[in-house]
């Protein structure tokens, strides 16, 4: 009876995996089959600016979000009292933040980063010059996406730190290392694979998000490549949305939309592939 249940469960799990792979192959195949001819026909209006804008805002998101998330995870795993009510509330808040709809992050980014931080910087640094930082731009879009991806990196990094054997900490402390040295020289390097896993997940989510950047910097069309973090930018996801829903003739814009979808897929795979390669290298070391 037990063997029959195992066989039935294995068959069910295998069928579920097969259906998942089939759905993935259909999605990727349709994007590749439709996108390659569109790119070959030159359906690339605005794609260069959108590609650079997507890569730039994702890089800003990573640079702003990952260090803060790692430091937060280090505090929760290594320094925060386990039985503290504050610690429990912080962990609950982080997990609740992961379930907030992405459009809410966009409204938060508009209210906090653009109107509060940006305009505050303008009043202090550029009095009388109008909106310099106090407007939607690349910088505030990246900061909004950084907030969006914080829970992913915090949770995965904290779990990775907790899996580091306690004996490593005790050995470092016994050799005279301080708590800070033990954390950043012994524990954190031992957990780098888990940290990079969180970074991979964050990049995968942030690179394709459109809703948070609708209010914080994305534009329908910008003729030039983004060269200033204070300027608005084009994004592949938003460009695809505009071509699919707001074009005067959707049938004529379909090739450009297919080319954009393929390019967005390639950019996302490239960003994730780089992070996965770094993770694999760290795992081997």
Reported as a single tens digit per residue, the pLDDT across 44-63 is 667 888 888 888 999 999 99
Assigned token pair, 61: 């998101």
Instruction: List, in order, residues 6 or more apart from 208 with CB less than 8 Å away.
Output: 237, 264, 268
Reported as a single tens digit per residue, the pLDDT across 138-175 is 999 999 999 999 999 999 999 989 888 889 888 988 98
pLDDT band at 40 (very low <50, low <70, confident <90, very high): low
Reported as a single tens digit per residue, the pLDDT across 94-129 is 888 888 899 999 999 999 999 999 999 999 888 877
Q: What is the pTM of this model?
A: 0.84
pLDDT of 264 reads: 82
Lowest-pLDDT range of 67-76, 115-124, 129-138, 221-230: 221-230
pLDDT of 48 reads: 82
Closest of 53, 70, 148 to residue 109, by C-alpha: 148
124: exposed, middle or buried (Cβ count in 10 Å: 0-12, 13-18, 19+): exposed
Mean pLDDT of the chain: 85
């Amino acid at each position: 009876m037990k063997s029959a249940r195992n066989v039935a469960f294995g068959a069910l799990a295998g069928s579920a995996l097969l259906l998942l792979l089939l759905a993935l192959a259909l999605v990727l195949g349709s994007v590749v089959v439709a996108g390659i001819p569109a790119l070959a026909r030159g359906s690339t209006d605005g794609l260069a600016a959108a590609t650079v804008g997507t890569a730039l805002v994702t890089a800003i998101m990573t640079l702003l979000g990952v260090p803060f998330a790692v430091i937060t995870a280090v505090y929760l795993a290594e320094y925060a009292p386990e039985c503290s009510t504050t610690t429990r509330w912080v962990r609950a808040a982080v997990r609740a933040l992961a379930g907030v709809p992405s459009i809410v992050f966009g409204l938060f980014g508009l209210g906090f980063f653009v109107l509060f931080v940006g305009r505050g910087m303008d009043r202090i640094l550029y009095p009388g010059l109008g909106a310099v930082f106090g407007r939607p731009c690349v910088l505030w879009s990246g900061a909004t996406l950084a907030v969006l991806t914080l829970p992913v990196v915090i949770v995965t990094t904290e779990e990775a730190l907790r899996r580091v054997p306690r004996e490593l900490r005790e050995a470092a402390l016994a050799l005279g290392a301080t708590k800070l040295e033990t954390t950043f020289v012994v524990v954190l390097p031992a957990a780098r694979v888990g940290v990079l896993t969180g970074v991979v997940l964050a990049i995968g989510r942030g690179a394709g998000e459109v809703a948070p950047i609708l209010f914080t910097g994305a534009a329908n069309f910008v003729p030039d490549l983004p060269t200033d973090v204070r300027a608005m930018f084009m994004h592949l996801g938003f460009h695809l949305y505009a071509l699919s829903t707001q074009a005067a003739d959707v049938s004529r814009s379909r090739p450009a939309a297919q080319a954009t979808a393929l390019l967005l897929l390639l950019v996302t795979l490239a960003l994730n592939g780089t992070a996965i390669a770094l993770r694999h290298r760290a795992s081997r070391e």
